[in-house]
Structure 1
Amino acid sequence: MMAGAQSTTNSFNTSVPGMASGLMAGVAAGAMWGLVFIAPRLAPDFAPVQLSAGRYLAYGIVAAILVAPSWRRLTARLTGREWWALLWLSFLGNILYYVFLANAVQRGGVAMTSLVIGLLPVAVTLAGSRHAGAAPLRRLLPSVALSVAGLACVAWQSLSAGGMGSMTGLLCAVGALVSWTAYAVQNSRWLARLHSVSAGDWSLLTGVVTGAEALLLVPASLAAPMAHTAQQWCVFIGLVASVAVLCSVAGNALWNHASRVLPLALTGQMIVFETLFAMLYGYLWEQRWPATLECVALALLLAGVVSCARVHRGHGAA
């Protein structure tokens, strides 16, 4: 935000409309990010490193175009520490995360990957329970328990259907979980420190840096199989461009807004919407209705978010 903007904690404690906009931004970001789980299925003939390189090169190009008019103003406000943070956050939350996730989806399937990534609300909530604006951990335990119960239902459904996937896919999903948890925690801390850079501009700067880092993936992408038809290349280009705009530019900007106006523990719970939308898109892709146990899981996951929001609203009012 501009110089007079409030910090994350102050915004939460004094502005209920700010909290509402943060919640809506978190839900919308989840809707955008859920599309990421379907993308590898739409281009199964391309290696995960090619999907990651294509997505983030496109993200970098779009971000550079959007940030160009204010580039000098923004860069004048950044020190070496902020640039190092952008390099590290871009790698953790974008490059490394998506390589892991694309591998997990292609090797283990959407259901298994959604299950493991669905642990993000629990992981980030626990990591953020000691941050400013967060409710005491003991008051967060019911919402965490609801989330864990919902994920347990999804796990049981996946195992009973034989959909747990390969061990390699599972390990890649765990890698994605760890890398994005670290990103969410560190990104929230930096957004709380930066009062002269808006959440949207921080997202665009992250995109420019991510695009530069994606250039390092080009040699590995060229080493992967390149024998594709013209139609497959058209699908690939359209897919990575769409994912870059919707998931990276729009989704990250929405998430940064939510991270700035909500406490980290509540922000962590908002990540559950990525899982919910990923599952919804998966059902549409598979052309089926969710099973009974999956419906129970969805209800429990939503209940966990509502419970966490109520705890933080009461905590902020107090």
Structure 2
Amino acid sequence: MLLGLLFALGAGLMWGLVFVAPVMLPGYAPALLTVGRYLAFGLIALPLALLLDRRALKELAPADWWEAAQLSLVGNFAYYLCLSAAIQRAGAPLPTMIIGTLPVVIAVCANHRNRVRDGHLPWARLAPSLALIAAGLACVNRDELAALQAQAGDPRRYAEGALLAVAAVACWTWYPIKNADWLRAHGDRSPRAWATAQGLVTLPMALLGALLLAGLHLAAPGTLIPAGYAAPLGERPWAYVGLMAAIGLCSSWLGTLCWNEASQRLPTSLSGQLIVFETLAALAYAFAWHQRLPPPTTLAGVGLLVAGVVWALRIKPVRTH
């Protein structure tokens, strides 16, 4: 349990870096950051596969590679495509609020679906933890909610953005549950090799995405990339390449490795709640980047999130048959 908690914390610390990339590179469109991140993930996975995981990867069957491809397609590309499109349609506040429900949604779905394999967390004891996390997310996203209430936009665009954000939640609810299924069914396999395998299958998808993005930019400038974008690497090429390499290594490969280790040790209903570490890390990095302290409401939200996680860790699963 302790190791699983530490690995989930490590995954959250790594994934939180993704949320400051747009702040550090404000002139780069979300599509460029997404393709750059996963292209770096795939390229980094190649030497790691040769140096560290060659033997373990040879043991993977075609069905395992197909599973890794599905996980990468849904958990990486479909998720970020839906999220980026939602932000384009409705702005940032509404999708951020909807995505913030992920820890609660995953915990509820996994607690029902995996009750035989992982044990059932009694709803009466789980409810306070979920309520604390939901209240913490509401406090943390208070500024986003205020911005949403102040906006007066096209209701149709808001509805489309909301549906796309819900689709993003569905993608990343499916991913950790299915990923944990494979890891729990293959307890003798290396979580590190499974992270590398997902990186390898991500590479051709990222290359295809880069080609499609370049073609769209040439055919219809300004659609996903600003019309004045300095192709191919923008106005700050070294900063872009360096940050994408850092995120590809830390957030994508190391983050996935830590999450795999946690998923192999913890019930999915519990590990799902621990995604709040990503929210906490993203907040810390953002405030550090802007060199300012969080407001009292945000600090209160952080306290509620931590209290919710501590409460969840005290719940003992009840075996069902």
**TM-score band, normalised by shorter chain:** 0.7 to 0.9
Give the secondary structure class of the aligned counterpart of 1:128. helix
Amino acid at match of 1:286: H
- Which residue of structure 1 lines up, in the alignment, with residue 221 of structure 2? none
Amino acid at match of 1:46: Y
- Which residue of structure 1 lines up, in the alignment, with residue 81 of structure 2? 99
TM-aligned CA deviation for residue 241 of structure 1: 0.7
TM-aligned CA deviation for residue 137 of structure 1: 2.8
Alpha-carbon spacing, 1:258–1:73, altered in 2? closer, same or farther (3 Å): same
Of 9, 26, 46, the match for 2:28? 46
Give the secondary structure class of the aligned counterpart of 2:236. helix
Amino acid at match of 1:227: A
TM-aligned CA deviation for residue 172 of structure 1: 4.9
TM-aligned CA deviation for residue 138 of structure 1: 3.0
TM-score, structure 1 as length reference: 0.83
Tell me how large the CA RMSD over aligned residues is: 2.6
Task: Give structure 1 stretches of 5+ with no counterpart.
Answer: 1-18
**Structure 1: distance between partners of 2:146 and 2:35:** 35
**Structure 2: distance between partners of 1:155 and 1:278:** 12
Amino acid at match of 1:81: A
- More off after superposition, 274-283 vs 149-158: 149-158
- Which residue of structure 2 lines up, in the alignment, with residue 227 of structure 1? 230
Equivalent residue runs for 1:144-293 within 5 Å: 144-161=130-147, 167=158, 172-222=164-214, 223-224=216-217, 225=225, 226-227=229-230, 231-293=235-297
**Structure 2: distance between partners of 1:164 and 1:103:** 21
Mapped contact 2:87–2:95 kept (Cα < 8 A):
yes
Give the secondary structure class of the aligned counterpart of 1:296. helix
**Structure 2: distance between partners of 1:31 and 1:84:** 29
2:20 pairs with 1:28: no
TM-aligned CA deviation for residue 262 of structure 1: 0.6
Amino acid at match of 1:126: V
**Structure 2: distance between partners of 1:234 and 1:52:** 17
Mapped contact 1:191–1:199 kept (Cα < 8 A):
yes
Mapped contact 2:56–2:190 kept (Cα < 8 A):
no
**Structure 2: distance between partners of 1:103 and 1:302:** 31
Task: Give structure 2 stretches of 5+ with no counterpart.
Answer: 218-224
**Structure 2: distance between partners of 1:178 and 1:117:** 10
Deviation by residue 1:35-73 (Cα, 9 ceiling, x = unmatched) = 111112222322322222211111111111111146653
Of 48, 51, 66, the match for 1:84? 66
Amino acid at match of 1:183: Y
Of 127, 133, 137, the match for 2:118? 133
- More off after superposition, 151-160 vs 206-215: 151-160
2:123 pairs with 1:123: no
- Which residue of structure 2 lines up, in the alignment, with residue 8 of structure 1? none
TM-aligned CA deviation for residue 164 of structure 1: 8.0
Mapped contact 1:192–1:260 kept (Cα < 8 A):
yes
Identity %: 38
- More off after superposition, 274-283 vs 45-54: 45-54
